[in-house]
Structure 1
Amino acid sequence: MPDEEDEAPAGFGYRPVLDPFALRATGLSGSGAVSTARVLALTALDEHGDDSLVVVPRPDATVLFGLAEDELLDDDTDGLFIPGNLDAALAYLETELAIRENTGVTQARRLLLVADCTQEADRIHALLARHPGGVSAILLGPWSGDTATIDDNGLVDAPPGLASGLPDRVPALSRVEARDRLLAALARHRETKKPSRRRSSPRRP
Structure 2
Amino acid sequence: MREQAADQESRTRSLQPVLLLGLLLPAAAAICYPFRHRIYAAATASPLLTAAPVVPPPRTHTVHLTYRPALDPFATSAMGLSGPGAVATARLLALAALSEHGDTSLLVIPRSDATILFGLDEDELLDDAPAGLFIPGNLDAALAYLETELAIRKSTGVTQGRRLLLVADCENESSRIRDLLARHPGGVSAILLGGWKGDRAVVDDDGLVDAPPNLAACLPDRLPTMSRTEARDRLHAALAGHQQPKRRPSGRRSGPKRA
TM-score over 0.5 for the alignment?
yes
The answer as to whether partners of 2:132 and 2:245 remain within 8 angstroms in 1 is: no
Counterpart position of 1:9: none
* Residue number in structure 1 paired with 2:45: none
* Cα deviation code 1:113-168 (max 9, x no counterpart): 00000111110001001100000000000011110000000011110111111111
Matches within 5 A, 1:103-118: 103-118=156-171
1:121 to 174, 181, 197: 174
Instruction: Tell me how far apart the structure 1 counterparts of residues 103 and 244 of structure 2 sit (CA, whole Å).
Output: 10
Alignment of 1:166-181 (within 5 A): 166-181=219-234
**Structure 1 residues 194 and 145, CA, compared in 2 at 3 Å: closer, same or farther?**
same
- CA RMSD between the two structures: 1.5
Equivalent residue, structure 2, for 1:62: 115
> Per chain length, whose mean CA-contact separation is higher, i.e. which structure has more relative contact order (CA < 8 Å, sep 6+)?
1
Report the 3-state secondary structure (helix = DSSP H, G, I; strand = E; otherwise coil) of the residue aligned with 1:46: helix
Q: Please tell me whether residue 46 in structure 1 is matched to residue 99 in structure 2.
A: yes
Question: Which residue in the other structure is 1:160 paired with?
Answer: 213
Gaps (5+ residues) in structure 2? Answer: 1-67, 250-259
Question: What stretches of structure 1 of length at least 5 have no aligned partner?
Answer: 1-14, 200-205
Which residue in the other structure is 1:89 paired with?
142
In the superposition, relative to structure 1, how do residues 195 and 145 fare at CA in structure 2: closer, same or farther (>3 Å)?
Answer: same
Shift, 1:183, TM fit? 0.8
**Shift of residue 74 of structure 1?**
2.2
What SS does the corresponding residue of 1:102 show, helix, strand or coil?
helix
Q: Under a length normalisation based on structure 2, what TM-score does the superposition of the two structures give? A: 0.68
Q: CA deviation at 1:16?
A: 5.5
Paired position in structure 1 for 2:187:
134
> In 2, are the aligned partners of 1:154 and 1:170 still within 8 Å (CA)?
yes
Match of 2:239, as an amino acid?
A: L
Q: Which amino acid aligns with 2:147?
A: E
